[in-house]
Amino acid sequence: MQIVHTIDELRAQLKAFRRPAFVPTMGNLHEGHIALVKQARPLGDVTVSSIFVNRLQFAPHEDFDSYPRTLGADAERLEAAGCDVVFAPREKDLYPEAQTFKVHPATDLSDILEGHFRPGFFIGVSTVVMKLFSCVFAGMPAGVAAFGKKDYQQVMVVRRMVQQFALPIEILAGETQRAGDGLALSSRNSYLAPAEREEAVHLSQALRALGEAARSASDLPALEAQAMHALARRGWKPDYLTVRRRADLMPPRHGQLAAEPLVVLGAAKLGNTRLIDNLEI
Ligand code: PAF
């Protein structure tokens, strides 16, 4: 496995290939990332993963500076998973000058839920993903890129970006990997103190309970509010717990609850750690 830092080095490594399978990450890898690498690998002729903590998707008060940087351990895990090339650019490699050209996703999808609570987040994500795609896929006839469904809205934003820019890239959405108690694996779980780690499972439990109650609900907003209050009583600070249509993340139409494919999404802070999760129902 090769570890490269610059765009030129990356392109030199990929020159002989025609269909990269790409897994972009911010590092501090867990089984969710490794599962994506293993799923993507047979779909391409070379497997590439990037490790880059992208400043553009963090607000000033967020955890950009403290986000764990664990390149050595990440590289070992990627090599064991069969990755061929790790692209780990320094900031000056990917953003040699301020990135003033940015990708602005459609606001109907990107200003709701995560985008509402993290303004500008999806501009930062779309911009870096487009740039990483250009580093990995420029000149390639086709490719595959894999993203985890834990970041449900991110997958939808990336899919739409790829479709609207007619990029010859297939997007693979990997299932969320969970710990034994049901907590969705996330790089940010490492921030949780032991007592918080025990409590953390209540987010996925709340989503499951909301999903089960939703199908027969006559007043969905009231049910969502109850679910948020229940988490708040346990000491969480919920941003949202909500049932949405899988197609566009809009609230389901009245009377359509039983008919439409739905997803329950949630985001809440436990201590200083903000966790997100979702369940398709
Ligand atoms: O999901 C992530 O880790 C990041 O948002 C991504 C897609 C690597 C872009 O920085």
For residue 244, give both structure tokens: 């949405």
Q: Is the CB of 89 under 6 A from ligand 1?
A: no
**Per-residue pLDDT at 136 exceeds 80:** yes
Mean pLDDT of 181-193: 97
The model's pTM is 0.97
Do residue 115 and residue 9 come from a single domain?
Answer: yes
Asked whether residue 150 falls in the same domain as residue 203, the answer is: no
Same domain, 153 and 215: no
Cα-Cα-Cα-Cα torsion 241, 253, 105, 43, nearest 10 degrees, comes to 80
User: Nearest residue CA, atom 8 of ligand 1?
Assistant: 25
**Whether residue 128 has its Cβ less than 6 Å from ligand 1:** yes
Q: Are residues 194 and 149 in the same domain?
A: no
Are residues 169 and 211 located together in one domain of the fold? no
Question: 20 CB under 6 A from ligand 1?
Answer: no
Q: What is the pLDDT of residues 53-75, one digit of tens each?
A: 999 999 999 999 999 999 999 99
Q: N- to C-terminal Cα distance for the chain?
A: 39
Q: Which segments of 165-260 does DSSP mark as H helices, in order?
A: 194-199, 201-214, 220-233
Domain boundary among 174, 196, 218: 174
**Same domain? 131 vs 227:** no
pLDDT digits (tens, 9 = 90+) for 64-120: 999 999 999 999 999 999 999 999 999 999 999 999 999 999 999 999 999 999 999
For ligand 1, the distance from its centroid to the CA atom of residue 23, given in whole angstroms, is 9
Residue 115 dihedral angles phi and psi, to the nearest 5°: -65, -30
Would you say residue 179 lies in a domain?
A: no
Same domain, 59 and 198: no
C-beta of residue 237 within 8 angstroms of C-beta of residue 231: no
Considering only CA atoms, which of 98, 110, 170, 116 is closest in space to residue 140? 170
Is residue 93 within 8 A of residue 5, CB to CB? The reply is yes
Number of structural domains (the chain) is 2
Residue 33 a catalytic site member: yes
Same-domain status, 138 and 248: no
Q: Residues 5, 33, 202, 229: which is the catalytic one?
A: 33
Is 112 within a domain?
yes
255: domain range? 187-280
What is the CATH number for 241? 3.30.1300.10
Residue 254, both tokens: 């009245």
112 shares a domain with 226:
no
Looking at the domain assignment, is residue 159 inside a domain? yes
* Residue 38 resides in a domain: yes
Structure-token pair, residue 143: 């490719």
Q: Is the CB of 32 under 6 A from ligand 1?
A: no
Q: Of the residues 118, 148, 174, which one is the last residue of a structural domain?
A: 174
Q: Is the CB of 151 under 6 A from ligand 1?
A: yes
Dist. CA 271 → ligand 1 center (Å)? 23
The CA distance from 278 to 184, in Å, is 9
Q: Are residues 74 and 154 in the same domain?
A: yes
Taking the CA of residue 24 as reference, the ligand 1 atom at the shortest distance is 8
* CATH classification of the domain holding 115: 3.40.50.620
Average pLDDT in the chain: 97
CA distance 40 to 23: 8
